[in-house]
């Protein structure tokens, strides 16, 4: 009996996007560590300044916010296009 495309062999199976048990346990473990270390994390961040502080904050963003794709800016009036550049010193 051949399989039909886009049809599950187990229609009552695991829903799409559901984490497996190991991934779920790992995330819960890491979250519990972070929950118990918030004061220390805040203290360490407050000891940083300037570029080091910004690098640490930007590195933490990837764990709290989804990554965004690069956005292309097009000026339709004169057909020029480009990217926004940001320089941190």
Neighbours of 48 (CB within 10 A): 13
Is residue 73 classed as helix, strand or coil in its secondary structure? strand
Q: With the CA atoms of 51, 53, 63 and 25 taken in that order, what torsion angle do they form, in degrees rounded to the nearest 10?
A: 140
Separation CA 35–CA 33 (nearest Å): 6
> Whole-model pTM?
0.43
Alpha carbons 2 and 19: distance in angstroms, whole number:
28
Walk along the chain (89 residues) and give the pLDDT tens digit of each residue: 566 776 767 777 777 777 788 888 888 888 888 888 888 988 999 999 999 999 998 888 877 777 777 776 666 665 555 556 667 76
């Amino acid at each position: 009996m051949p399989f039909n495309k886009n049809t599950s062999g187990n229609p009552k199976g695991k829903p799409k996007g559901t984490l497996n048990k190991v991934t779920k346990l790992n995330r819960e473990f890491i979250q519990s560590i972070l929950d118990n270390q918030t004061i220390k994390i805040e203290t360490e961040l407050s000891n940083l300044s300037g570029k080091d502080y910004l690098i640490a904050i930007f590195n933490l963003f990837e764990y709290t916010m989804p990554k965004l794709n690069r956005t292309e800016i097009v000026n339709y009036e004169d057909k020029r296009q480009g990217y926004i550049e940001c320089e941190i010193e």
